[in-house]
Amino acid sequence: MQFVASEHQHRRLNPLNGQWVLVSPHRMQRPWSGQEEKPQLNVQPEFDPNNPLCPGVKRPNGIITERYESTYVFDNDFPALLEQVPSPPASDDPLFQAAPARGNCRVMCFHPKSNLTLPTMSATEIGAVIDEWIKQFNELSPKYAWVQIFENKGSTMGCSNPHPHCQIWSCSFLPTEPQLKQERLRAYYATHDRPMLGDYVERELQRRERIVIENPDWLVVVPYWATWPFETMLISRNNNKRINDLTNGQRHNLAFTIKELTTKYDNLFKCSFPYSMGWHGAPTGPEHAHASSAHWTLHAIYYPPLLRSATVRKFMVGFELLAMAQRDLTAEQAAQRLRQVDGTQHYLSK
C-alpha cells in the first residue's frame, strides 16, 4: 500500500519547538455527538455604557477610560506581572526551583466602537493598530527581554470582554515558547548559515500546498506541523527580525494581509471566528540588544479552535494532554479551504 498523506496517519515535526504532532486524516469521517459551542456572533452595540473598555466608561478600579477616537492603551488593571516585587530566595534543591519574574501588562483597544473586530475594520484602521503595536514595542523593548503582543478573540478563547482589543505583556525573562524557538532557530542557523523561517518560506513557495495568502512582503500558510485545525502563520518575506523593523510599505501590506486573513476566517463558517494570535520576533532588552538576531524571522501565529463548523471546536484533552498533539484535518486540506474562501468581502457586508 502506498502512503497518502491525506488518508493515512503519520507524524509531523515542528522544527520550531522540536515537538511532533500526530495527523489522523481518516478520523474526519467520524460522527460528532459531543459538545457544540454557540456560534460566535458579533452582536455587540456600538457603545455599551457598562463596558469598561468603551470611551468615557468607569473601570472597576474607578479610573475612567479616556474618550479615545482611534487606538487606546492603558496599564492592565489586573496584571499578571508587576515591576516592583521581591525576588524568591535561591534554592539548592533541584526539585523546588523558583526564579524572579517582573514585567508590565497593558491593554490596547483597537477602536472606540464595540461592534467592530479586525475583519470588519478598514485597512486604514488596522494600520493604526499596527502603528500602535510598534510604538508600544519601541517603548517597552529596551527594558524587557520579551514583549508579547497577543489577541484573544471570542469567549471560546477566554476573552473576557467583547470590545476589540489585545494585550501586551512584557517580561524580564524569556518565556518558554520563545526560549524554545530561540534555541531551535539558533541551532538551525549554526548548521545551515540561513534563518530557518527564511528557508521555510522558500520551500512553501516552491511546493504551493499550504499557502493561504501571498504578497511581496508577507506569506500566510497553514504550517506543515500545524496543531490547530485552521492554524496559520504569517511570516515576513523581508528578513525582518522584530516588528519595529517594518517599513511603511510593509506595514501597509500587513494591514491588508491581516484584514484578508481574518475576513477569510469569519467567512469560513459565517461567524465571528475565534482565535488566539500573537507576534514572535527576536528577543529584546539589555541582555539581547547587542546579540545576533540573524537566526530570527518576524512572524505571527493564529490558533483558532473551530474544526467542523461554527459550533464544533477542537479540544486539547486526553491523549493530547498526556502524550502528544493530534489533528484530523491535514494542513494541506485546511489551507485549500482557506484559499477558496473569499477574503475581500466580509459575509456581513454582502
Active site residues: 165
C-alpha cell recorded at residue 36: 457544540
Looking at the chain, how many residues does it have? 350
Cross-strand pairs, 19: 14
Contacting residues for 69 by C-beta, under 8 A, at least 6 apart: 55, 112
Secondary structure letter of residue 349 according to DSSP: G
Please state, in angstroms and rounded to a whole number, the distance separating the CA atoms of residues 272 and 348. 10
- CB of 32 within 8 A of CB of 308? yes
- CB of 212 within 8 A of CB of 338? yes
C-alpha cell recorded at residue 244: 519595529
- CB of 110 within 8 A of CB of 120? no
Question: The cell 520563545 sits on which residue?
Answer: 178
Of 235, 312, 221, 210, the residue nearest 5 (C-alpha): 210
Please state, in angstroms and rounded to a whole number, the distance separating the CA atoms of residues 129 and 168. 13
Q: Is 29 helix (H, G, I), strand (E, B) or coil?
A: helix
Secondary structure letter of residue 59 according to DSSP: P
* Count of C-beta atoms within a 10 Å radius of residue 261: 23
Cross-strand pairs, 89: none
State phi, psi for 168 to the nearest 5 degrees: -135, 110
Please state, in angstroms and rounded to a whole number, the distance separating the CA atoms of residues 27 and 40. 25
